Amino acid sequence: MKASILAILALILVASFLLTQQTATRPSATLPNSKSLASVPGRIGKLNSFPATIAVSPDGRYAAMLHTGYGTQEDRGRQSISVVNLETGQVSDFPEDRLAEDAHQSFYVGIAFSGDGQRLYASLGSITDPTGQRSGNTGNAIAVYGFRAGNVTAERLIKIPPSQLEKNKWVAKGVFKTPKGTAIPYPAGLALLPVTGYVKLISQITCPMTSSFWMFQPGRFSSALTSVRTPWSPPPTHTG
C-alpha cells in the first residue's frame, strides 16, 4: 500500500514538472531600444542565399521570395525564386539558369504577383550588358513567370530600353554602355496597381541619379512605357 502511494506521488510530481516546463515563460532579451526579443513557436526552413523581397499571392496561400545573393551549393551558385506554401510550410526553390555565377544580369528587389495570381514578375538588372546584346544575356528587363499551384516556370521577358537623359546631363564613363544621350535604367521595385491592373516598376537611373516609373499591362507583349521621371534625392536625415 505504501509503495503504491509513493508511486502515485512520483507520477504527480513528474506530471507537474512537465506541465511547468511547457507553460514556463520563454526566455527573452532586452534590446538597447527597449524592445524585447524572444523565441516563438515556428519552423526554420532552409533557403537560397539573400532573400531580398517577399510577395504574397492574392489568395494568401503562397509567399514568393526573390533571392539576390550568390546562390548556394545546392543551387549551383544560381539565384532563384523560392515559394512557401503558407498552409503547409513547405518550401520549394526554383533556380534561374540565366542567373548563374558568371551571369551579366541579376535579380534586384522587384517581385510581384499578377492580380489573378497566375504570374510572377521579377526585375532583372544589368550594368555590364544593359541591352542584352550578348548571347544568354537578358539586359535590363522584367522576367515574367507562370505560377500554378506553387510552381514557377519562365515564360518571357519584357525588355526595358535605355532611358533618355535630360538636356545637359550625362553619365559617368564607367557606366557609359548605352547610346549617347541615354542612361542605364536599373530596374528596382515592382507593384501591382489593383484598380487598373497595370504593373508599376520603379527604375533607378545611374549617374545622374534619377528615378523613373514604368508601366506595363500584364498579358501584353509590348514594352513598358515611361510614365514619370523624378530627380533622385537622398533619404532625409534625422537629428536630435
| Structural domains in the chain plus CATH codes | 46-231 (2.130.10.10)
Q: Across the strands, what pairs with 201?
A: 190, 214
63 touches 84 (CB < 8 A): yes
pLDDT of 123 higher than 80: yes
What mean pLDDT is predicted for residues 173-181?
Answer: 71
What mean pLDDT is predicted for residues 173-199?
Answer: 72
pLDDT digits (tens, 9 = 90+) for 21-50: 554 455 678 888 878 877 766 666 778 888
Tell the burial category of 41 from Cβ atoms under 10 Å away from its Cβ (0-12, 13-18, 19+): exposed
Tell me the whole-structure pTM to 2 decimals. Answer: 0.69
Of 41-50, 85-94, 197-206, the one with minimum mean pLDDT is 197-206
pLDDT digits (tens, 9 = 90+) for 56-67: 999 999 999 999
Joined grid coordinates for residue 107: 535579380
